[in-house]
Amino acid sequence: MPRFLRQSLAYSFLLIGIISCKSYQLTDVKPLSGSPQTVENLYFSSNQDYVYKCQMDIYKNHISGILIIKKINETTHRVAMTSDFGNKLIDFEISDQNFKLNYVLPDLDKKIVVNFLRNDFQQLLKREYQVNDGFENNKDRIYLSRVHNKSYYLFFDKENGLLKQIIYTKNRKEKIDFTFEAKKHIFADSLNLQHKDFKINIKLFQITETE
């Protein structure tokens, strides 16, 4: 595992400057009147633990284990992952602005690995979004939130009101696609996190469900 993390990830990050991505834009939508000022991702808002089976695919390498996400306060979550054999891999506390690494397995203690996890979970656990514009299609209401050079497109199902997708872009380039399956506003049954400029994919599947 340490060898591919050093070679595959390091090589990939060196190539990021020459990887071309098309600018992201919505298609087949129309303006939405009466958009709210803010919208929220409530999937990790409960005080109970969120426990998932986690699968990470990093290029041709596969890592699996148990991921626990716990809300510490209104701005901060604690994230810990263990291997399938119960060995701790990483443990950190994270908010929009801060990141505290409590533990990382020495084999994983690489700057590019930690930075990649920090960025992904900062985007995943971001709760409140200021709405700059709204759109709709036959199935979804879509809210656009801009923060400096970052944009977030949040897709809410018209039928049940649940958040089903977040497209995160930077400098107008699509970076990460978060796709959720859920039956409740506060708990995602599954999550697929797909990078667009790296061959990196994280999948989460529920183990325990919040009330």
Contact present, 182 and 188 (Cβ < 8 Å): yes
- The mean pLDDT of 30-49, rounded to a whole number, is 93
**Cα torsion angle, 102, 106, 111, 117, sign:** negative
| Digit-coded pLDDT (tens) for 66-92 | 999 999 999 999 999 999 888 999 999
Q: Specify the pLDDT at position 16.
A: 47
Alpha helices in the chain (DSSP H): 2-4, 10-14, 111-125
Looking at per-residue pLDDT, the higher value among 4 and 173 belongs to 173
Q: How many domains does the chain have?
A: 1
Q: How confident is the model at residue 47 (pLDDT cuts 50, 70, 90)?
A: very high
Contact 103, 88 (CB under 8 A): yes
- Band of pLDDT at residue 14, cut at 50, 70 and 90: very low
Give the CATH number of the domain where residue 167 resides: 2.50.20
Give the percent of the chain with pLDDT over 90. Answer: 70
Q: What is the mean pLDDT of residues 126-130?
A: 96
* C-beta of residue 41 within 8 angstroms of C-beta of residue 186: no
What residue numbers bound the domain in which 130 lies? 2-208
Which of 206 and 62 is assigned the larger pLDDT?
206
Please choose, from the candidates 135, 121, 55, 136, the residue with its C-alpha nearest in 3D space to the C-alpha of residue 91: 121
Note whether 87 and 105 are within 8 A (CB). Answer: yes
The residue with greater pLDDT, 209 or 46, is 46
In terms of pTM, does the model score above 0.85?
Answer: yes
Cβ(202)–Cβ(193) below 8 Å = yes
